[in-house]
Amino acid sequence: MNAWEQSPVGAAVGRFERARFLPWATPLEHQPRLSQTLGIDLRVKRDDLTGLAFGGNKVRKLEFYFGKALAAGADTVLITGAVQSNYTRVVAACAARLGMDCHIQLEERVPDVDDVYRTSGNVLLDELLGATLHAYPVGEDEEGADQRLREIAAGLSARGRRPYVIPLGAGNPPLGALGYVRCAAELLEQAGAMDHVVLASGSGQTHAGLLFGLRALGWSGEVIGICVRRAASLQKPRVEGHCGRIAELLGIVNPVRSQDVVLYDDVLAPGYGVMNDAVASAIRDCAHRDGLLVEPVYTGRAMAGLFARVREGRLPPGARVVFIHTGGLPALFGYATDLRRTVVRREITAP
Ligand SMILES: Cc1ncc(COP(=O)(O)O)c(C=O)c1O
């Protein structure tokens, strides 16, 4: 047994069923030119390289949901998300890998989108991966979206299928967060000295899981969550709630204190999935300075939040910072129109 498996948190996580999708430990990569520009020591945990169908943070989370679905004898999985959801795309890929059917409900979370947003990027991949798509007309109704999924599942059961619903609502056991509790051990083994970790905080499961794992393993540095979905005043209780529920799931004491949950929402406006100048310039700087791709919804916004913390001195010169690259790169294609307008600044012209 290795040190992780021997630790109380590792032993507790090890008792959960887990489907194996992650083929390797993702690299931790130094960013030389961004580090120089920002005056910090910036490394990126490349969880965009988690392997399955363009990867991203969902692969680690889904090892646990699919572990549970398989143990329950499910033959079909259901998931809800934004039209350009990365989650739904990876669920479709995991289901295909396991020979299961996949139903995806796409919510209207982003206003004023164009046809490219509706048909390219993750939507195209959802369809390519063989999922059945359903539309849900609202974007800020977690309970309603979950309820509709359960109704679709009931219809499938009536036709003899064995459905498993991956729920969205914050009150559900945050099984997916266990993937990031595990990731904490992987990161600590790779990183050596690090002062700060920065990541996107959306549903909050990645944030809560990583923070929980890092604290449980004794790391006392700072985890900075950048809000990509809702204001910090709403996100903080959500992440704290997840930490409490992770402790319950694992049957261990919650090592996360309220002051450990650090969140910034200054780059969130005008809202989820809508670009702003800070996000556009973060996407451009990462691409131009280090060949690092980040996207408009999660990683570009989180990187904009990191840049803002450097500007205000919150991440001081020389700080050893790890940015968690949670993936989402297919969304670059769904946002092609916006990116041309704001980052590339080139209109498509007739030949
Ligand atoms: C690329 C990407 N990064 C970050 C997140 C946020 O992760 P979480 O929902 O666990 O907070 C998501 C969630 O959809 C995502 O797709």
> Which residue in the block uniquely carries the two structure tokens 């609502």?
169
Ligand 1 atom showing the smallest separation from residue 205 Cα: 10
Q: Is the predicted pLDDT of residue 152 greater than 90, yes or no?
A: yes
Residue type, 135: A
- Which residue is listed with tokens 């020389």? 318
Q: Clarify whether residues 136 and 207 are in a common domain.
A: no
According to DSSP, residue 309 is labeled H
pLDDT tens string 52-64: 999 999 999 999 9
Residues 87 and 208 in one domain: no
Same-domain check for residues 67 and 135: yes
At 83 the pLDDT is 94
88 in contact with ligand 1, CB cutoff 6 A: no
Query: Does 347 map to a domain?
Result: no
Catalytic residue, chosen from 7, 85, 120, 201, is 85
CA of 160 to the centre of ligand 1 (A): 33
Domain co-membership, 247 together with 276: yes
Assigned domain for 112 exists: yes
Q: Is the pLDDT of residue 139 over 90?
A: no
Residue-by-residue DSSP string for 175-196: TTHHHHHHHHHHHHHHH-S-SE
CA distance 94 to 326: 17
Give me the pLDDT at residue 169, please. Answer: 81
Based on the fold, state whether residues 69 and 142 are members of the same structural domain: yes
pLDDT of residue 37: 95
What is the reported pLDDT for 350? 56
> Tell me: the pLDDT tens digits for 7-46?
999 999 999 999 999 989 999 999 999 999 999 999 999 9
Q: How many domains does the chain have?
A: 2
Q: Are residues 73 and 51 in the same domain?
A: no
Would 254 be classed as within a structural domain?
Answer: yes
**Atom 3 of ligand 1: nearest residue by CA position:** 326
Q: Which residue has the higher pLDDT, 327 or 171?
A: 327
Q: Which amino acid belongs to residue 242? A: H
Same domain, 65 and 148: yes
Residue 293 counted as domain residue:
yes
pLDDT band at 71 (very low <50, low <70, confident <90, very high): very high
Residue 150 sits in the same domain as residue 276: no
- Domain end position, chosen among 106, 138, 166: 166
Q: Residue 350 C-alpha to ligand 1 middle, in angstroms?
A: 37
Where residue 347 falls among pLDDT bands split at 50, 70, 90? Answer: low
Between CA 291 and CA 100 the distance in angstroms is 37
The reply to whether 194 falls in a domain is yes
* 157 and 291 fall within a common domain: no
Which of 121, 149, 166 is a domain's end point? Answer: 166
Q: Which domain holds residue 129?
A: 60-166
- Does one domain contain both 274 and 219? yes
User: Mean per-residue pLDDT for 201-216?
Assistant: 98
Confidence of residue 140 (pLDDT cuts 50, 70, 90): confident
Would residue 34 count as lying in a domain? yes
Is residue 120 among the annotated active site residues? no
253, 279: one domain: yes
% of the chain residues with pLDDT over 70 = 98
- Residues 197, 279 share a domain: yes
The domain that contains 87 carries what CATH number? 3.40.50.1100
Q: Is residue 349 in a domain?
A: no
Say which residues have a Cβ less than 8 Å from residue 269's Cβ, sequence separation at least 6. Answer: 276
Residue 168 CA to its chain's centroid (Å)? 13
The amino acid present at 149, given as its one-letter code, is L
Distance CA 74, CA 162 (A): 5
Residue 22 lies in a domain: yes
Q: Ligand 1: distance of its center to the CA of 317 in Å?
A: 28
Give me the pLDDT at residue 318, please: 97
Domain's final residue, options 134, 166, 198: 166
Phi-psi region of 245 (alpha: psi -120 to 50; beta: other; left: phi over 0): alpha
Determine the distance separating the centroid of ligand 1 and the alpha carbon of 201, expressed in angstroms: 7
Whole-number average pLDDT of the chain: 95
Ligand 1 closest atom vs CA 228: 6
Give the single-character DSSP code of 187: H
